[in-house]
Amino acid sequence: MRKHKLNPGLVQVYTGDGKGKTTAAIGLALRAAGRGLKVFIIQFLKGGFDYGELRLLEQLPNIEVRAFGRGRFITSSGPSQEDIEEARKAMDLAREVIMGGEYDVVILDEVNVAIYFGLVSLDEVLELIRERPRHVELILTGRKAPEALIEVADLVTEMREVKHPYRRGMPPRPGIEF
């Protein structure tokens, strides 16, 4: 049972080259769900990979998660047809979930990267922001947030890498990086 609706729901952007954008969004999801708000997380470019947070999030009340993508990074050769199709499915679901108004917080994880690679139209994301129901809080994560998104957002946080163990050749560790 929801205790309240947000009034108004705002737009938040977590971007930058530093670690922690998805982690911050998931922290917000936990906080919102703990207050009885309904949360929907749509992950772009992350389908097909076993992220630790998904194992637990799928068991929690008030949070729903759907991941799309091939579970591989897009290389310099550009996105594949499958990447494009998966992003389209994610965007269609995003529109349905946001415009349906049932969820109070909607997180579009890695949508900024999907825009950067041309998998998702910036105009389509801006349209969703403009047309969303008043109570829906929208969180957009990923590196390379376009200036147009930064301008329309109510809150923008930029994660900046100062030092990272990847630079020393350390591989990603289960439970910390994924």
**What's this model's pTM, rounded to 2 decimal places?**
0.92
Residue pair 137/4 in contact by the 8 Å Cβ criterion: no
Q: How would DSSP label each residue in 75-134?
A: -TT---HHHHHHHHHHHHHHHHHHHH---SEEEEETHHHHHHTTSS-HHHHHHHHHHS-T
Between the ranges 74-83, 85-94, 163-172, where is the mean pLDDT highest? 85-94
Q: What angle do CA 40, 32, 107 make, to 5 degrees?
A: 35
User: Can you tell me the mean pLDDT for 79-90?
Assistant: 92
Residue 3 reports pLDDT greater than 70: no
Within 13 Å of residue 148, how many CA atoms lie on the same side as its CB? 12
Three-state secondary structure call for residue 147: helix
Domain locations in the chain as residue ranges: 11-162
Calpha distance 34→31 (Å, rounded): 5
Assigned CATH topology for domain 11-162: Rossmann fold (3.40.50)
- Ranked by mean pLDDT, the top range of 49-53, 130-134, 169-173, 174-178 is 130-134
What would the pLDDT profile of 18-64 be if each residue is shown by its tens digit?
Answer: 999 999 999 999 999 999 999 999 999 877 677 778 888 989 999 99
Rounded mean pLDDT of 144-156? 98
pLDDT of 92: 98
Distance separating alpha carbons of residues 85 and 63, to the nearest angstrom:
25
Please tell me the distance from the alpha carbon of residue 149 to that of residue 156, in angstroms, as a whole number.
9
Question: What average pLDDT does range 68-92 have in this prediction?
Answer: 85
Tokens 């009034």 found at: 7
Question: Which of 33, 42, 167, 150 lies closest to 106, judged by CA?
Answer: 42
Q: What is the pLDDT of residue 2?
A: 52
Per-residue b/e over 95-127, b at no fewer than 16 CB within 10 Å? eebbeeeebbbbbbbbbbbbbbbebbebeebbe
